[in-house]
Amino acid sequence: MGDFATRQPCSAIGPPQRRIQPASKPPNWAIPDGNGLQIRCRSASDGGLLEIARSRQDRNPLQDNSFTVFQSGGRPMSPILTSLTPSFGPEAGRNSVTITGSGFANVGPLTVQFGATATTFTIVSDTQITAIAPPGTGTVQVTVAANLDGTSNPLPYIYGPGLLYVTDSANPGTVYSVPATGGAATVLATGLNQPRGLTRVGNTLYIAEFGANRVVSVPTTGGPITPLVTTGLVGPIDVVAAGGTLFITDSGSLRVVSAPIGGGSPTLVAAVPTGAIGLTF
């Protein structure tokens, strides 16, 4: 939709959903958009705010009272991005990324792209989208495009290791994250009893807690410790994940066991003759 060419008197309908401060207070006007709808607005008295709504050409308001705000000059306001959490991820993709900003709801169809690749997403609210990162390499720009309102500002997303996650069994029982390119460590959890091996799935760390004979989870951004496998283990050393299953080296019982990733009792996978330490796929 370009600059408006036709102006007619109109009146405001309902409170605006979004507002902007125009450069100057505009006159009252309305213009058909060519799709059986009509844009209506008024010059508000509270500081010159521009209020815009959609209504049918008969000027009856739409039942959903959806609104669109336009910048001075008559062009739509694009979505605005403020942050990505996390702003990095594996080259294989498939991890969840929270996009924070504004202008995501009631603006028609949206497209979320990581570089040139569109991906699946869920609109949580007008200020938050949860997207699934597609496979990729290097640094790409994440954008959100509204069919009617244009494309957002870009934010960088980095494919690669991003952060390293480290267990420290002596300090005392701490889990850290450290930038893979170097930098200061960030404490994610403390108070664990001799944490050993760990693995990451999406935004969750799974940790073999040797001294407590259990496996727990911790968010990759830090947070509460959640016990998952609390019985049937004797000195767990390492843990890996595949699909919905955790595989654990249980050193005290000389075996490898599996357990549901959401928690539960361990099941024997294999017995080993002299002890089980590390494992991987």
Same structural domain for residues 259 and 193? yes
Give yes or no: residues 168 and 254 share one domain.
yes
What is the residue whose two structure tokens read 């040797």? 210
Whether 175 is in a domain gets the answer yes
Segment 79-93 mean pLDDT: 87
- 276 is a domain residue: no
Say if residue 241 is in the same domain as residue 173: yes
For the question of whether the overall pTM of this predicted structure is more than 0.85, the answer is: no
Domain holding 246, by residue range, is 163-271
pLDDT at 66: 37
More reliable by pLDDT, 150 or 232: 232
Q: Is residue 146 part of a domain?
A: yes
pLDDT confidence of residue 31 = 36
- Work out the burial of residue 183: count CB atoms within 10 Å of its CB; fewer than 13 is exposed, 13-18 middle, 19 or more buried: exposed
pLDDT at 243: 83
Whole-number percent of the chain with pLDDT over 90: 47
235 & 252 share domain: yes
- Do 98 and 185 lie in one domain? The reply is no
Considering 68-82, 98-112, 221-235, the range whose residues carry the highest mean pLDDT is 221-235
The pLDDT assigned to 87 comes to 83
Same domain, 198 and 266: yes
> 233 and 255: one domain?
yes
Looking only at the bridges linking them, the beta strands covering 70-71 and 128-132 are unpaired
Q: What is the pLDDT of residues 252-262, one digit of tens each?
A: 999 999 999 99
Query: Is the domain of 174 the same as that of 241?
Result: yes
The torsion angle over the Cα atoms of residues 276, 248, 202 and 137, rounded to 10 degrees, is 30
Q: Higher pLDDT residue, 58 or 125?
A: 125
186-189 β-sheet, strand order? 163-168, 174-179, 186-189
pLDDT-derived band at 139, boundaries 50, 70, 90: confident
Q: Which of 159, 190, 217 is the last residue of a domain?
A: 159
Find residue 238's DSSP bridge partners. Answer: 249
* Pair (126, 218) in one structural domain: no
Residue 280 domain-assigned? no
Residues 194 and 262 in one domain: yes
**Residues contacting 146, CB < 8 A, separation 6+:** 76, 78, 79, 103, 107, 108, 109, 110
User: In CATH, what number is assigned to the domain containing residue 243?
Assistant: 2.120.10.30
**Mean pLDDT across the chain:** 76
Asked which of 49, 73, 97 is the last residue of a domain, the reply is: 73
Q: Into how many domains does the chain fold? A: 3
> Is the bond into 26 cis (omega within 30 degrees of 0)?
no
Residue of 114 and 45 predicted with greater confidence: 114
Where a domain ends, among 73, 105, 121?
Answer: 73
CA distance 185 to 162: 13
What phi-psi label fits residue 275: left (phi over 0), alpha (psi between -120 and 50 degrees) or beta?
A: left
> Is residue 62 domain-resident?
yes
> What would the mean pLDDT of 51-61 be, rounded to a whole number?
35
Only one residue has tokens 């939709």, namely 1
Q: Which DSSP letter does residue 98 get? A: E
In a domain, 281, yes or no: no
Query: Which amino acid does the sequence have at 248?
Result: I
Residue with structure tokens 């942050």? 83
Residue 279 lies in a domain: no
